[in-house]
Amino acid sequence: MALSNSSVLFAWPTDGSVLRAMDTGVRAPALQTWLCRELGHALGVPPAHRVRPDRPLRALGVDSLLALHLKRQLEAALQVSVVAHDLLREATLAQLAGLLAELVAEPRAAAVAGGAAR
């Protein structure tokens, strides 16, 4: 599996405060759409095809190397702490989006990320 040549794989178009301000019902679908697009790019899925959010991440091609890369990129883009195991278990991309939506909503998410950056 080859990763894209993009230097920033998971560049969320805004900062984490915009996601935290979103209504819960909007945040998870927005993250799911973003994850589908970015994971498709990382996996080299042709534009005519789609990454299905109802398939397990492992079935989509996420292996341990990509999971660690995704972990770092998601933490940087979303300012949350992501457990690599959550990327390797049999969770679907939709379930991951829901988990990330919850993590982003936590008020301490930005503080944790800020403390780790020091």
Q: What is the pLDDT of residue 107?
A: 60
List of residues 6+ apart from 44 with CB closer than 8 A: 1, 2, 4
Q: What is the pLDDT of residue 32?
A: 92
pLDDT of the chain, 118 residues: tens digit per residue:
444 434 344 555 556 677 778 887 889 998 999 899 888 988 888 877 889 999 999 999 999 999 998 898 888 888 889 988 888 888 999 999 999 999 988 764 444 444 444 3
Q: What is the pLDDT of residue 25?
A: 85
Q: How far apart are CA 99 and CA 81, in angstroms?
A: 11
CA dist 86 → 18, 58, 64 (Å):
24, 11, 11
Q: What is the pLDDT of residue 24?
A: 77
